[in-house]
Structure 1
Amino acid sequence: MAYQKILVAVDRSQQGELVFNKSLEIARKNQAQLTIFHCLPIDTRENPAIYSDLYGQNLGNYARAIQEHLDREKEQTRQWLTAYCDRAVRSGVQADWDWQFGNPGRRIQQIAKQWQPDLIVVGRRDRNNIQELMMGSVSNYIVHRASCSVLVVQGSESQQ
């Protein structure tokens, strides 16, 4: 099967590089268009209570700190995805990129529904069943909801 439109979901791990390289190889062989996608999760691990006081006056500081963090993340993501896109174009592949905030599985599914790729390329880390139950699995979510072929690049960061 020849692919015309490939959606690749990457992150900043070493496996993200592997996933990108695999999708670029397939795109070159098929003369396919490539969309490089990254999802910035909304980090809720920080406890806003540490910024709070009895009257909530420090919540403004918390909001500013979160906004500054998001601004830095957005700029780093823009630079990083632009570099991937430039590599693809230099390899002779028509490419663009996109990013969104939120749940990675849901966002990948949404962009795939809009863009209608022939293939989605995602990575998978070696997580045991308990870890997947607690943390979820983006690749599993996509495999079970995609309306096109899905290539899951296997591996763990420690193997790369």
Structure 2
Amino acid sequence: MYTNILVALSSIQIALSDHNIFEPNQTERESFRVSREVLDEAIALAKPFKANLTLLHVLTEKEIQDGIRKFGSKEKFEQECQRRLKLLEDEVRGAGVEVDFDQIFPKLVSGKPGEIICNHARLWKNDLIVVGRRERHFHLLGPGGVSGYVIYHAPCTTFVVNSKASSISPEGANSVVVH
């Protein structure tokens, strides 16, 4: 039974289906799709357990620079991310799941996204981490990517959501749970 689920979102831009602010490139579109799938899976997991979700948005330095370029300043980009996280929070609450959120900018917290996710799961005593991945095959889950790092270092069970855009098996499985 899970009671406190950490949802690691790599990008919240299109998770809200709000395409009018900027035109994402192909890599961003894939990231957005994975984040949307992660959120949907997390809500589905939380409901039967009446678990609380914590949405954790970890930004890389590159994402911040891209956001500053698109929104004109770091402050405007941070405000936009906060606004979108609040909308996601409202959406999750509307689905009947308790939720809060945190946003991590790398200058405020040291470490890579995978480390930050694991550290927050330890600090918040989460019993499940839901994270997405874009790689096509689960045998490629090495410690180099964010999801791979989380699998190898998480203090709790990890639920990995594979992008539905990239089939990993003939049966079409799209997730794996790692204890």
The answer as to 2:34 corresponding to 1:24 is no
> For 2:153, what is the secondary structure of its paired residue?
coil
Amino acid of the residue matched to residue 124 of structure 1?
R
Tell me: CA distance 1:74–1:157, structure 2 relative to 1, closer, same or farther (3 Å). Answer: farther
Superposition TM-score, scaled by structure 2 size: 0.67
Match of 2:8 in 1: 9
Change (3 A) 1:73 1:90: same
Residue 176 of structure 2 is matched in structure 1 by none
Shift of 1:30: 0.7
Shift in alpha-carbon separation, 1:69–1:106, aligned structure 2, 3 A: farther
Larger Rg: 1
Residues 125 and 110 (structure 1 numbering): CA distance in 2 closer, same or farther, change over 3 Å? Answer: same
Segments of structure 1 that go 5 or more residues without pairing to the other structure are: 47-63
Q: Distance in 2 between matches of 1:34 and 1:69?
A: 30
Q: What TM-score does the superposition give when structure 1 sets the normalisation length?
A: 0.74
RMSD after superposition: 2.7
Structure with a larger share of its residues in helix: 1
Where structure 2 has 5 or more consecutive residues not aligned to the other structure, the ranges are 12-31, 107-111, 168-179
CA deviations on 1:16-66 (whole Å, 9 max, x unpaired) are 0010000011111110010001111112997xxxxxxxxxxxxxxxxx98x
The answer as to whether partners of 2:141 and 2:147 remain within 8 angstroms in 1 is no
Higher relative contact order (CA 8 A, sep 6+): 1
